[in-house]
Structure 1
Amino acid sequence: MSTRNATVAGRTGCPALFYGWIVVASAFATTFVGFGSAYTFSAFLSSLQAEFAASRGSVSLVFSLAGFLYFALGVLSGPLADRWGARPLLVAGMVLTGAGMALAGMARTLGEVYAAYAIGIGVGVGLAYVPALGTIQRWFVRRRGFASGLAVSGIGVGTLVMPPLASFLIDHWGWRTAYLGLGVGAAVVGVGMALLVADDPRDRGLLPDGDLAPVTPPIGAAASPAVGFGLMEAMKTPRFIALYVACMLASFGLFVPFVHLVPYALDHGIAQASAVLLLGAIGVGSTAGRFLLGNVADRMGREPALILMYAGMAASLVVWLVSTGLPGLAVFALVFGVFYGGCVALLPALVADYFGGKNIGAIIGVLYTGVAVGTLVGPTAAGYIFDATHSYSLVIVASIGGNLVAAAIMWAVSRK
């Protein structure tokens, strides 16, 4: 079959569906499972504190360790996916994620919970996340922002669905059985969808975006997924350095709400069921942000759009700072989710615009080591600061500052 006929089959075959959208669905499912599992942690926090008589800071370290690993491991999984393909890494990651959840339910000490989350969810998501995102960048050029947003909207939907589901299972089965049930479901769904991923449209005789012939890409976007910067070459550029620093500064506060928003709400007299729904509100907002803002960024430019995301997260955190009731916290959660979701959707597409698609997995992997540092420090520090001061005010103010500085850095880059 000729390349043209293969491309036509990829667009108009039985039924008319470009295989790139199947790859997007696979990435959606793996991000849903991986991050949805990770973000159930807030629903389990009170149970873990009570079970192991632990402080909020020490329990928060469970999430921070897992978050550090799933971002830091991108520096390994990205190059491995560029060399070996994404599918085996996604499958292994989903198996580990499910196993980590199940083993957390069997833990007899807090140290065993650390190990289950770190080895299972941390390593599992770390193996799957960057390869899934890197693959999307090869399948799309003109619609790269929208496709990336659709793929990572699995994180938002997972945040919407998984924490309330975990809370329901805890209420009816207890926290240990809830972990086991969630782990089995995560492995079954995650592995099944991971098997559908494919690395490059050229391997199937297709062109990016399902085009029948090469087209001129948008200004600033890499023309072909087969070309681009080498890893070391990209890392030496001012753009990469600025993006790395901006991501690290913003990430110190990025994941604090995922761990501490529910305890904050409980501290202010909000019922458990309503408090957990605040995480669902972040999920709703982030899903909307990934769908809408990724598409908008394709039109307005992804660089200015990222500046808007950082500024928007800072503004939303101001709402959290002054809110103690459910309505104000719900507004915060929705607005924060929108800009957080848009930020997550934009980053891989912007990296591909800057540096091309040839080594996209490796470059994203190194970039996310900065996010890993922020994820390790932010939620844990927030827990210990709360233990010392019985307040999250200092943490929220620092998070606002980090996002504003990140926005300023990216504005300076855009001016050049």
Structure 2
Amino acid sequence: MPHEGEATPCVSKVQDRGWAWVVLIATVLVQALTLGFPSCIGVFFKDLQYDFQASNSETSWFPSIMTAVLHAGGPLCSILVERFGCRVTVMLGGLLSGVGMVASAFSKSISQLYITAGFITGLGSCFSFQAGITVLGYYFIRRRALANALASTGVSIGLTLWPLISQYLLDEMGWRNTFLIFGGVLLNCCVCGAVMRPVPDKPPAPTLKSCPEQSREGARLSNGSTSCCDEPLHPSKWAACFQILQKYLAFDIFCKNKGYQIYTIGVSWMVMGFVLPLIYLVPYATLNGVEERKAALLISIIGFINIFMRPMAGLLSGLSIFTGRRIYLFSMAVMLNGLSNLICAISAEYTVLVLYCLVYSVSMSVIGALIFQVLMDVVEMDRFSSALGLFTILESFTILIGPPLAGLLVDLLGHYRYVFYASSFFMVSAALFMGLSFCTMEAKDKLKETNKPPPENPSKGKYTEVPTELELDRNGPPAIICVTSI
């Protein structure tokens, strides 16, 4: 029971109700502004390529850097959240995102765009997005699954609106003025962060300086070191670096946990193909005679369906029938996503592209709803944050090289169709790898259990009462004692 003066009773007044729903709405908007933003880059692809006289591979580095930094900045975001809190981190991210897009409007080369819109905006989006997700864990306890499912609809809203707005502004005022406006729009992350006030969790832990001065005497430890009031024994720089890596990057889990190892490798391979359609679908459609506004509408169709499908996929995966089997549901969705790319590669007619968007969006919704849920299933929750840090960093490397490799493929072969073939290859192979590996691992575990020798004492671990008769005492009646074994 909490003692008087502790903050636990205060927490119950805000969690799962009241201001928590305001924070949830702010998180939805943050996800729409950050995660949904890279989906509109394909609208500007041809204009950027023309203005900077860049190849497909050079132009595709811009969205790939933005998306990769958005994922790779997770450990740095964790440090900022731990030091300054979620509220300040979200607002700092919004400021960086806005400044990056405003600076990109004045870029004179494609390499400058890599730094401004790619690195600075991507890093700011990372801070706002991941800190916004973190704050939900403090505001929601009983309804956390529902809150995360509703928050994920923000990505879908961004996928729906960003391409349409981008195409309209591009037609009206060009890409430079559009990027300038986007800088102001992304500053709204600061407004969303302002409402994410910290939740009083527990009384602050005493720091090194909080020990009373008079306790300095006699504060020596048994090994001769001093207490918190004396000079601490500083570890070596290498040991300190190792502790930081151990805290934010779970290399030990990656080496010991086979499930985490398989899942991390599979998802890292998968994302090389997963992000390609969102970048190259609009250029592919316009190259094959589709009107630019109708081509931008294709991405919006994907986002609109995601608005409804992501919460449904999250609720479906929460059923008891999928407990312990979410990895197989995830692998099936990855397989369907990869096969759907073949529809787009076969024909570029607008009706076929719309059909492709329908199938792609359904599978994308399941992937988006389960990707972190499966990670929670294979890793202990007390190490989840560090496992997530390593997971996102490895994922960011493949996100970074995927679009440029696809752009190089287009430059060499001269057609965007091969991008969708490559995407299908990455997705299908990743689905087979994850599904078959987990199936094999479970089969080995069951085989070990069946071949395991029975315990020597079958009753070990059970509570039993066994009356045991003792020998008759010559001077008294027979005694009976109950012997208990646990």
How do 1:273-284 residues align onto structure 2 when only pairs under 5 Å count?
273-284=293-304
- Return the index of the structure with the highest Cα Rg: 2
Contact 1:130 1:364 in 2 (8 A): no
Distance 1:319 1:36 in 2: 24
User: 1:320 corresponds to which residue?
Assistant: 344
Contact 2:93 2:125 in 1 (8 A): yes
Q: CA RMSD in A?
A: 2.8
Residue in structure 1 matching 2:13, options 5, 9, 14: 9
Deviation readout 1:300-334 (Å, 9 max, x if unpaired): 34333322321221232122222311111112223
Deviation readout 1:212-258 (Å, 9 max, x if unpaired): xxxxxxxxxxxxxxxx9993443331121111111111101111112
Structure 1's 5 and 114: CA in aligned 2 closer, same or farther, altered over 3 A? closer
Deviation readout 1:154-206 (Å, 9 max, x if unpaired): 1221111011101111111222111111110111x2111122336768459xx
Contact 1:71 1:126 in 2 (8 A): yes
Contact 1:74 1:129 in 2 (8 A): no
Contact 2:336 2:363 in 1 (8 A): yes
Contact 2:270 2:430 in 1 (8 A): yes
User: 1:95 corresponds to which residue?
Assistant: 95
User: 1:115 corresponds to which residue?
Assistant: 115
TM-score normalised per structure 1:
0.84
Structure 1's 229 and 90: CA in aligned 2 closer, same or farther, altered over 3 A? closer
Structure 1's 158 and 177: CA in aligned 2 closer, same or farther, altered over 3 A? same
Distance 1:18 1:230 in 2: 35
Residue 8 of structure 1: how far off its partner (Å):
5.6
User: 1:264 corresponds to which residue?
Assistant: 284
How do 1:281-296 residues align onto structure 2 when only pairs under 5 Å count?
281-296=301-316
Residue in structure 2 matching 1:372, options 396, 400, 413: 396
How do 1:11-410 residues align onto structure 2 when only pairs under 5 Å count?
17=17, 19-82=19-82, 84-137=84-137, 144-187=144-187, 189-197=188-196, 202=201, 231-236=250-255, 237-299=257-319, 300-301=322-323, 302-410=326-434
Distance 2:154 2:50 in 1: 31
Deviation readout 1:122-145 (Å, 9 max, x if unpaired): 211222333333444555566554
Residue 4 of structure 1: how far off its partner (Å):
7.8
Contact 1:20 1:140 in 2 (8 A): yes
Structure 1's 283 and 333: CA in aligned 2 closer, same or farther, altered over 3 A? same
Distance 2:339 2:281 in 1: 16
Residue 103 of structure 1: how far off its partner (Å):
1.5
Contact 1:98 1:120 in 2 (8 A): no
> Which residue type is aligned with residue 47 of structure 2?
S
Structure 1's 374 and 337: CA in aligned 2 closer, same or farther, altered over 3 A? farther
Structure with the bigger RCO (C-alpha within 8 Å, sep 6+) is: 1
Percent of paired sites with the same residue: 21
Which runs of 5 or more structure 1 residues have no equivalent in the other structure?
A: 205-227
Distance 1:21 1:239 in 2: 35
Contact 1:71 1:372 in 2 (8 A): yes
